[in-house]
Chains A and B, each alone.
Chain A
Amino acid sequence: MINAHGCCCRFLLKMPGLVFVKESLVSSLPVQSVACTAFMSHFSSTQLVIKTCRKMGIQTVAVHSDVDSSAVHVKMADEAVCVGPAPTGKSYLNMDAIMDAIRSTGAQAVHPGYGFLSENKEFAQRLAAEGVMFVGPDTHAIQAMGDKIQSKLIAKAAGVNTIPGFDGVVKTAEEAVKIAQDIGYPVMIKASAGGGGKGMRIAWNDEETREGFRFSSQEAASSFGDDRLLIEKFIDNPRHIEIQVLADKHGSALWLNERECSIQRRNQKVVEEAPSTFLDPATRRAMGEQAVQLAKAVQYSSAGTVEFLVDSQKNFYFLEMNTRLQVEHPITECITGLDLVQQMIRIAKGYPLQHKQEDIPINGWAIESRVYAEDPYKSFGLPSIGRLSQYQEPLNLSNVRVDSGIQEGSDISIYYDPMISKLVTYGATRAEALAKMEDALDNYVIRGVTHNIPLLREIITHPRFISGDITTNFLPEVYPSGFHGHQLATDSRRELLASAAALYIAAQLRSQRFLLSTIPQERGKWELCVELGKDRHNVEVTRSGNTYTVSLSFSFSLSVEVDAGRVEVSGEWNLASPLLPLTINGTHRMLQCLSREASGEITVQYLGTSFKVRVLSKLAAELDSYMPEKIPEDTSSILRSPMPGTVVAVAVKAGDTVAEGQEICVIEAMKMQNSMTAAKTAKVKSVHCKPGETVGEGDLLVELE
């Protein structure tokens, strides 16, 4: 399993979701067939499971909801069963329907992936009752680790470092405040039953504790059907580092090194890497050994993850244990060479571990970026929806792995997590893996939904990230006033303007190339004006090669004079392709054309961020000053939905007076609640939404006077 070359040449797919096992095609194989389903974000895991199963000769059955009937994982599986309509409570969380599906297909095992029921003890119990194998740990381990309060007690008893100020179940807001005061601020509030960062809020005072309590308990109820909460001491400047463990049913356990997942937004992971730049071998071993101790303490069997918070002194504290395959597991596979899904299936079938601790290497470096369908300019990412009109993964590059459950034409709906894919790059060194990630992000074509590639690319090229100086507060620390995209320096601005001018010229020249007619003399010199934001730049372009070739592709070599600076641009473009590779002053860049209008407006993705420029001839630019300015709508007195979603609560009615910052209504999208607040103190003029209503991005919610 471990690649002797030290590189991860075998990219495996795995995803969350259920997979049922059916009948073994080859009787000597360890497991029979599996198949199950997942959600949007989880489809990729389902695919991974299906791929590994296929490799192992196992038949699979995918389960899916109405709206996912044409999803990739459904097509990949040997069989598919629809378990209900889109809302997750009626499909992927609907245990009755899933049990029916298992019976009707005769599945013998279920791989739960990493979504929905993957850590649900009741589900595991029901499977056990029917004699269906659950590819994952035993019920008691899920139960022990699924409860955040109990898990800490167990961890403590097993000799694992735990976070100080640990406390119990909370029922009312006032109780929450009291507990918080006892622990001392800041505190973290989250749902006991929930995994990941969902329902997790940090409170610095009593008021925030009350608010956090309300939100967390609502989210807990809506996502997990269990409104218990947990409050604990919040560690400032922490790093989130987790240990992958693998334990069999014979009492053996291994730690497969760490993953650093400190780059988070709203406590959800964004960029992960393995190994961590921060750990020394001694700390790594100490963490690994504690993780294994915990696994053994709960007689864990299967793959699991023990999450730690690590402070600046390399003190580490147990956070929680995830009893499932995690979204970020591929990076561990990259550096260790193990196929975790295969290991899980082997363990479930009762085989002992194949490896010894000393067999587990750290080969090279792997980085994972979570590509989300969300707008990074709004709170580092608010969900966006749409149809993927164009979608092209950067699989042309080596050492790049993309786990996704979607394809061109897929709809990103409001029902599920907005994850598009996990983009993993691998390199012999961290620098190599990072450079590859930069390339991969530049080559990733996503059209039709807003995505977070601008943010991802900024993170992985930020000096602090490159030097490894990160904490879980990285984003708010680096972007205190929010993320605003790539900030152009003099050189990069010049390069952008020159590229835009080249694109304009390419389109202009091509638009004269009618077949069967004389092609007019092609110009060798252009005087243009390129607008970027409010600034205008004079751009003079001269042909530096002998001629242009436009047929089938546009190959060119241009010398561009931008604001008295010279840029040499050359390339060969297919104007129908969204990817425009070019060489700017000797540097290779991948430009993406997002739109090109007759009016000269060009939107390009450059260094990850999309920039809108307008290229005009000199004459048009001169005359442009006479054009009337269009007056934009006054937005301070209207509240529009920043994203598509469902209205959960409306706190005001017409005639009410609201204070600036006061909550007006709550919108839920992709299982996340967002509080909409008033931009100014005013009287409410009219309310245009009702609780329960579905709203689109930009829909008018409330008008103020």
Chain B
Amino acid sequence: NHELQKNPDCCPSSAPLLPLDCRWYSVSHLSVQERIDKKRKAALVGGGQKRIDAQHKRGKLTARERVELLLDPNSFVEYDMFVEHRCSDFGMEQDRNKFPGDSVVTGQGRINGRLVYVFSQDFTVFGGSLSGAHAQKICKIMDQAVMVGAPVIGLNDSGGARIQEGVESLAGYADIFLRNVTASGVVPQISLIMGPCAGGAVYSPALTDFTFMVKDTSYLFITGPDVVKSVTNEDVTQEELGGAKTHTAVSGVAHRAFENDIDALLNLRDFFNFLPLSNKDASPVIECHDPSDRLVPGLDTIVPMESTKAYDMLDIIHGIVDERDFFEIMPNYAKNIVVGFARMNGRTVGIVGNQPKVASGCLDINSSVKGARFVRFCDAFNIPIITFVDVPGFLPGTAQEYGGIIRHGAKLLFAFAEATVPKITIITRKAYGGAYDVMSSKHLRGDMNYAWPTAEVAVMGAKGAVQIIFRGKENQAEAEAEYVEKFANPFPAAVRGFVDDIIEPSTTRKRICRDLEVLASKKQVNPWKKHANIPL
């Protein structure tokens, strides 16, 4: 259905040549207006009704429907509606192959009244493929977003490069990548994958701060199943290779997945509310109905008597944060660490917690990387970090050592040490060995470090320690009891000032809210450097 895209011949060349004739002027004006309207109308239907129907049939919304749902009603201001691709090869120059706006919708708008820049790739136009013009439109809004200090949200639904354009398309990708990188740490960047995203295209989402996916309708991979088959002879479906489940549970590429387009967009609105608009803004504060001095009596009994018994760190987090509202990041990946956003007395905070329920809450390669990236995001955007510690140590074994737990674990250490935002740490139970140091300890410039009465800060568990200290001694049980008495409690750390106080668990919310008020004016600067060299 390309009729709509055909340029009607409304050029005023047939008009009589009467210079300065006001009639001529007005005729021309009318005809331009007509062309404007036609172009606008054409831009609004993208690839045409047939393609829109096909898009809907796949369970996907169109680029414009998505933008409308994401933004506040009537707040979208579109840019570059008239931009067309410039390719003249393979018949692309024909009118029926020109679509006003090309294969992406760009502009700015508001989410709950706050400014955001958006691009939404239009699968109905050449499968959303990236032309030079398409890239240029994206670059334009990114440049402006950085200039004014507002986040960028990309709604990705693209078959890949515009093959007809060859290197121009590749150049377009690189232009976007460069902007993703320069904008990184300046304004939050979020990618929502709402269709295919393959080949070079995957690197733009990978460079952004958060990548979300839509279940069953979105895919991310470097090469598709056909190429995989021809190169490695592996049989794999699109879903297995790069579906939402794969990336949220196995690869850790995506941070969360949602049921469908609507669910994803509404959740994205919710998520956006946690973020500051740029690195110049403080962590946002929203009106809060939850009393900041609320006691949480349930926390006094949450840590089990037996130190080997698990409990759910999420119970602690939900109890402490405002209105039990916790937006978890990567809930299905490296579940031995919990990260996500919440609010304390209305102010956004980043929460990091070891999860005793999974692998005893130990640190391994994946959980270290997951935690490190989250901490760095918070630090970049002035979001205070609250850390709940119950960690038995780093996971031992050849798999971990060969995988490089040393350099990956160092990332989390690096991230916490480097962070200059307010850092509050609560040791709920175990804080053993090097993992104690890593988890936002006092030594890494923790601002307020608390221990619950159940805290045990030690080099290792009693059993292991006794085997080393009292090697060969007969009465191991007695020695163990002595060690427990001496070290399996918060005192060794408290007497040295490594924790600032031992607090009743039920008062934790109150303490944190009060500290955050105090720390809101915290200023801490690292020495000048071009950039640090995090062990990648």
Contact = CB atoms under 8 A, between A and B. Distances in A.
A547 to B, nearest CB: 15
Interface residues of B, number: 50
Most chain A CB inside 10 Å of its own CB: which residue of B59, B69, B112, B312: B112
Contacts of B504: none
B102 to A, nearest CB: 24
B269 A598 contact: yes
A4 interface: no
Nearest to B267: A598
B286 A513 contact: yes
B78 interface: no
Contacts of B300: 70, 409
B305 A69 contact: yes
Given A409-B299, A515-B285, A576 B61 contact: no
Given A389-B319, A409-B300, A628-B260, A66 B289 contact: no
Contacts of B263: 599
Given A520-B72, A623-B262, A626-B59, A510 B297 contact: no
Contacts of B65: 623
A630 interface: yes
A407 B289 CA distance: 23
A510 B287 contact: yes
Given A409-B299, A619-B69, A624 B262 contact: yes
Nearest to A626: B56
B112 A516 contact: no
Interface in B255-292: 259-263, 266-267, 269-271, 273, 284-291
Most chain A CB inside 10 Å of its own CB: which residue of B216, B273, B324: B324
A599 B60 CA distance: 17
Contact of A627 (B262, B322, B323): B262
B318 interface: yes
A518 interface: yes
Contact of B68 (A510, A552, A619, A627): A619
A366 B363 CA distance: 57
Interface in A512-549: 512-520
Contacts of B323: 575-576
A387 interface: yes
Nearest to A625: B56
Given A510-B286, A510-B287, A620 B266 contact: yes
A514 B68 contact: no
Given A409-B297, A514-B285, A520 B113 contact: yes
Interface string A45-77: 000000000000000000000100110000000
Nearest to A628: B59
A147 to B, nearest CB: 40
Nearest to A627: B260
Interface string B227-269: 0000000000000000000000000000000011111001101
Which size class do A's interface residues fall under? 35 or more
B479 to A, nearest CB: 25
A514 B315 contact: no
Interface in B167-217: 216-217
B61 to A, nearest CB: 6
Interface string A605-637: 000000000001101100110111010000000
Interface in B300-317: 300-302, 305, 312, 315
Contacts of A410: 298, 301
A69 B260 CA distance: 46
A600 interface: yes
A285 to B, nearest CB: 48
B259 A630 contact: yes
Interface in A557-581: 574-577
A69 B305 CA distance: 9
Contacts of A616: 262
Contacts of A576: 288-291, 322-323
B154 interface: no
A551 interface: yes
B346 interface: yes
A388 interface: yes
A64 to B, nearest CB: 12
Contacts of B302: 387, 409
B114 interface: yes
Contacts of A389: 298, 315, 318-319, 324
Interface class of chain A by DSSP: loop
A230 to B, nearest CB: 41
Contacts of B285: 514-516
Nearest to B260: A627
Contacts of A577: 289
B140 interface: no
B510 interface: no
Interface in A157-184: none
Contact of A70 (B260, B301, B318, B322): B301
Contact of A407 (B73, B290, B297, B318): B297
Contacts of B267: 598-599
Contact of B69 (A407, A554, A620): A620
Interface in A484-522: 510-520
Contacts of B60: 626
A410 B261 CA distance: 39
Most chain A CB inside 10 Å of its own CB: which residue of B69, B73, B287: B287
Contacts of B56: 626
A552 B315 CA distance: 25
A620 B262 contact: yes
B266 A598 contact: yes
Given A598-B270, A619-B68, A513 B298 contact: no
Interface in B52-97: 56, 59-61, 65, 68-69, 72-73
Most chain B CB inside 10 Å of its own CB: which residue of A550, A598, A619: A598
A552 B286 contact: no
Contacts of B259: 599, 627, 630
A617 B271 CA distance: 18
B445 interface: no
B59 A511 contact: no
B110 interface: yes
Contacts of A511: 112, 270, 273, 286
B344 to A, nearest CB: 12
Nearest to A575: B289
Contacts of B286: 510-511, 513-515
B187 to A, nearest CB: 16
Contacts of A574: 289
Interface in B323-337: 323-324
A408 interface: yes
A88 interface: no
A339 B180 CA distance: 74
A624 B68 CA distance: 13
Interface string A379-419: 00000000111110000000000000001111000000000
A30 B113 CA distance: 71
Given A520-B72, A520-B113, A575-B289, A409 B261 contact: no
Contacts of B269: 598
6 contacts: A408-B297, A409-B300, A512-B113, A517-B114, A575-B323, A577-B289
Given A70-B301, A617-B73, 20 more contacts: A69-B305, A387-B298, A388-B298, A389-B298, A389-B318, A409-B297, A515-B285, A515-B287, A516-B285, A518-B113, A520-B72, A577-B289, A598-B267, A599-B262, A616-B262, A620-B266, A623-B61, A627-B260, A628-B216, A628-B260
Instruction: Please provide the 10 A-B residue pairs with the shortest distance between their CB atoms, ordered closest to farther.
Output: A409-B298, A628-B59, A598-B270, A576-B290, A520-B113, A513-B287, A576-B289, A408-B298, A627-B260, A515-B285
Interface of A: 66, 69-70, 387-391, 407-410, 510-520, 550-554, 574-577, 598-600, 616-617, 619-620, 623-624, 626-628, 630
Interface of B: 56, 59-61, 65, 68-69, 72-73, 110, 112-114, 216-217, 259-263, 266-267, 269-271, 273, 284-291, 296-302, 305, 312, 315, 318-319, 322-324, 346
